[in-house]
Amino acid sequence: MKRRASGVGKIFRNMLRFPFLALFFLLAACSSTPPAPVPQKPASAIPAERSKPEDQRYANEIVLFAMGLLDTGYRFGGSNPDAGLDCSGMVSLVVEQATGRKLPHNAAKIAAQTRPISRDQLLPADLVFFNTSGPTFSHMGIYLGDGRFVHAPSSKGRVRVDRLDASYYAQRFSGARSLF
């Protein structure tokens, strides 16, 4: 009989499948070299920075934990990686594991407990919301940076990464919010 990995074991196994990503975040978090100058953007197009070091640490942990859930099965109402996750179950699990903060298992209620931000202020670990079934906040995910987010969609039944500018999600984008 094949033994199933525990939720945490599955996360670490998935992180091993993407070691370059874990290494990238580790190096980025520890880097002390100043970034190269970049062309100036209008102030509204420059994302805000995390105001406190612990917020940045939590943001890094949220992204890494979420990436460890890639390929986890989908289950409506699910909040356990072994049994399957839905979008708000995934987000609430990740946030609680990374920060200790408990969030409700409902996208609209999570939106109500987080700070609205503009799309051009998105930073990794911020939350993105979509109107996929009528309510403004009927689907959600965790922003990874570079226009990508991780989520638990019911279509194709697995936690995966998609792009905000993909036509399906671009048409249904309903807001961005920050935990910090």
Q: What's the average model confidence in pLDDT over 43-57?
A: 71
Q: Does residue 87 carry a catalytic annotation?
A: yes
Give percent of the chain above pLDDT 70: 73
- Residue 114: band (very low, low, confident or very high) from pLDDT cuts 50, 70, 90: very high
Q: What share of the chain is helix, strand, coil (3-state, %, to 5)?
A: 40, 20, 40
User: Considering 50, 139, 160, 177, which one is annotated as catalytic?
Assistant: 139
Domain 7-28+53-178 belongs in CATH node 3.20.20.60: no
Contact residues for 150 (Cβ-Cβ < 8 A; gap 6+): 66, 67, 69, 70, 90, 141, 142, 144, 159, 160, 161
- Residue 69 DSSP one-character state: T
Q: Is the pLDDT of residue 7 over 70?
A: no
**Active-site residue, 105 included:** no
CA distance linking residue 43 with residue 64, whole number of Å: 29
Rounded Cα distance, 95 and 47, in Å: 21
- Name the active-site residue from 105, 151, 160, 177: 151
Structural domain boundaries in the chain:
7-28+53-178
User: Which of 63, 69, 87, 176 is the catalytic position?
Assistant: 87
Res 45 pLDDT > 50: no
Mean pLDDT of the chain: 83
